[in-house]
């Protein structure tokens, strides 16, 4: 049998050479980005969208809270966090947390081969509560992209009335660097510095009305979530003193009519905050807004007949229909 096979193989040596045509299909820009992201991830599983950008899937809880996963340590310890543009620190419950809710995962530094001790005290105050602990460093993975030696808070006590019943374990701040407690680096800046993404750009798509698909995109924007061109609004001058993504609106309108709520010189300062689920403001401005909107039925049955709210920023009116503000 072996001899027969050998004879068959050698019999073709003197035969005519045959050329087989090959077709080269160049990679698209999105495919190049996806390949680059996979190399940057160093073999970790990475969530890449159709346009080659890493992303984090977010869960929508009744249009009030949007949260997704983050991994800390090696091997990875998974936590559910609010990706919050209103703050600038990552924190999760520590193994030694004295009052964190039962059943929540807790970070165990002794179980991670990439843990590095820092030890600085950590305390952060939110509008609704606070938490305390200390700073540690470990590999932190967002959307499949690993940040080496990322500084985060291990929380040992938290405001139980606020976080004790929350459906998430911690918070990952995507706010401005100046707001970071202990001046820890921002996640996007570290992703760029460590070569994991090219641009310090992130984008949120927050669905509503029970629809799925809420997503945080890292390193750029996802065209599948928007139509037309982006409108740009500069940061307010006051953002140098107030460390938020702070913008200034020239006017707030209801049904196309001005509420006259904004100062002629500074306008209405507004914080772009993915961790806040309501429109909030000074009582005088909010009361004027409510009076112009009119009565809202307790069962929301008249919602569709209510007027549209529009916020004027950067020379453009950004509309909010009653399906968004009721």
Q: Which residues are catalytic?
A: 84, 273
Burial class (CB in 10 A: 0-12, 13-18, 19+), 159: middle
Taking alpha carbons only, the member of 280, 268, 261, 214 closest to residue 65 is 214
Q: Say whether the peptide bond before residue 75 is cis (omega within 30 degrees of 0).
A: yes
Taking alpha carbons only, the member of 266, 265, 270, 260 closest to residue 318 is 270
Q: How far apart are CA 47 and CA 35, in angstroms?
A: 12
Q: How far apart are CA 167 and CA 275, in angstroms?
A: 14
Residue tagged 């600085």 (tokens):
120
Q: How far apart are CA 318 and CA 309, in angstroms?
A: 8
Name the DSSP class of 107.
Answer: B
């Amino acid at each position: 049998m072996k001899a027969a096979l050998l004879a068959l193989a050698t019999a073709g040596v003197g035969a005519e050479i045959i050329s087989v045509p090959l077709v080269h299909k160049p990679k698209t820009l999105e495919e190049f980005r996806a390949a680059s992201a996979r190399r940057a991830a160093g073999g970790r599983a990475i969530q890449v969208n159709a346009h080659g950008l890493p992303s984090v899937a977010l869960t929508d809880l009744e249009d009030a809270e949007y949260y997704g996963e983050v991994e800390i340590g090696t091997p990875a310890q998974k936590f559910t966090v609010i990706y919050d543009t209103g703050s600038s620190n990552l924190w999760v419950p520590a193994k030694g947390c004295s009052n964190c809710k039962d059943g929540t995962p807790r970070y165990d530094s002794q179980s991670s081969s990439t843990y590095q001790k820092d030890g600085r005290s950590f305390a952060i105050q939110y509008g609704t509560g606070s938490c305390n602990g200390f700073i540690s460093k470990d590999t932190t993975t967002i959307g499949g992209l690993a940040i080496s030696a990322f500084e985060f808070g291990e929380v040992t006590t938290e405001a139980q009335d606020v976080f004790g019943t929350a459906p998430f374990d911690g918070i990952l701040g995507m706010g401005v660097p100046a707001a970071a407690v202990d001046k820890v680096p921002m996640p996007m800046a570290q992703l760029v510095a460590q070569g994991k993404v090219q641009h310090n750009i992130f984008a949120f798509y927050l669905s509503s009305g029970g629809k799925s698909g809420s997503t945080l995109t890292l390193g750029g924007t996802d065209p599948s979530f928007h139509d037309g061109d982006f409108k740009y609004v500069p940061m307010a001058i006051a953002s140098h003193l107030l460390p938020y993504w702070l913008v200034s609106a020239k006017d707030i309108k209801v049904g196309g009519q001005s509420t006259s709520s904004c100062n002629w010189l500074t306008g209405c300062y507004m914080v772009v905050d993915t961790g806040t689920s309501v429109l909030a403001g000074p009582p005088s401005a909010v009361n004027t807004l409510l009076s112009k909107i009119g009565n809202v039925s307790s069962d929301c049955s008249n919602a569709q007949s209510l007027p549209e709210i529009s916020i004027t920023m950067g020379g453009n009116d950004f509309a909010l229909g009653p399906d968004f503000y009721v």
